[in-house]
Structure 1
């Protein structure tokens, strides 16, 4: 079954699956010391992400949640890319899940007149660093982030993507 995942806007009926996917990747795969309680945004996706110039998407393979991505409105036609996670079985060229998610978010941002996308990530996510750089994100220093960018405790590496 090599069919590609389908990306759809978040719907609260998938909350448990979204939380399970994100926590598994953070805690089990990358040993990041972060808990469900450290991420209250996960319990308020509609209010936190799907407002203003923000949104949240889920990648499905059949009925299974295999990836997530969100854009958080930080004002001045800028967004923070957050919650980009792909199940380990759906990474890479076979399913192109990460590319489908990122393309969905970037296209949506472009349609909503967003000027730039910023993100913060952890040093452990080396494959993610390569992915972002391959897709046009440039490394920036923390001091070059917009004032309203919400830096997480685990964020040590930062990127920017400029939209036309």
Structure 2
């Protein structure tokens, strides 16, 4: 497996992977129109100081994670998706994606990572808890956190508490 930064040249593969998981696997009522960031990854993620990582097996995109820097100290974790057949401890793709994102965040001087997700994604919530993300109320989010309409559960990771 290889994890590397990806941009607009992988737009079609990214959209297919993410929308299929959101809509078909988890029945989340979200469309491409609700996620314009997927149509301009370079500007949306990289211009602010964030990144978008892809996990590849045999040159096939099997997982993604992204970081939106929304102020000097804080960023939002977005687009954490792994194809169903590549999930779990055997491949450990989600863990490796998150660890690379945390390393990138620390190297770029961030203090906190935040994320929003939907309560139906119980395995994802357990994954974030195992990785020291703590539950916070929506009202506790920074005022400039980029909210997604569907999100109803929020987490925070203080990077200075991670070795």
Using structure 2 for the length normalisation, give the TM-score.
0.96
Q: Report the number of matched residues.
A: 160
Q: Which residue of 2 aligns with 1:44?
A: 40
Q: Which residue of 1 aligns with 2:55?
A: 59
Residues 90-120 of structure 1: per-residue CA shift (max 9 Å, x gap): 1100000100110010000010010000000
Residues 109-135 of structure 1: per-residue CA shift (max 9 Å, x gap): 010010000000001100000000000
SS in 2 for 1:75: coil
Q: Which residue of 2 aligns with 1:27?
A: 23
Q: Which residue of 1 aligns with 2:119?
A: 123
Q: Which residue of 2 aligns with 1:154?
A: 150
SS in 1 for 2:34: coil
SS in 2 for 1:49: helix
Q: Distance in 2 between matches of 1:38 and 1:109?
A: 26
Unaligned runs of 5+ in 2: none
TM superposition shift of 1:88? 0.4
Q: Is the 8 A contact 1:120 1:159 kept in 2?
A: yes
Using structure 1 for the length normalisation, give the TM-score.
0.95
Q: Is the 8 A contact 2:8 2:39 kept in 1?
A: no
Q: Which residue of 2 aligns with 1:77?
A: 73
TM superposition shift of 1:38? 1.1
The RMSD of aligned alpha carbons is: 0.8
Unaligned runs of 5+ in 1: none
SS in 2 for 1:37: helix
Moved over 6 A (4+): none
Q: Which residue of 2 aligns with 1:99?
A: 95
Q: Is the 8 A contact 1:60 1:66 kept in 2?
A: yes
Q: Distance in 2 between matches of 1:19 and 1:52?
A: 21
Q: Distance in 2 between matches of 1:52 and 1:23?
A: 24
Q: Distance in 1 between matches of 2:141 and 2:129?
A: 17
Residues 68-95 of structure 1: per-residue CA shift (max 9 Å, x gap): 0011011031000001101001110000
Q: Distance in 1 between matches of 2:138 and 2:48?
A: 24
TM superposition shift of 1:15? 1.1
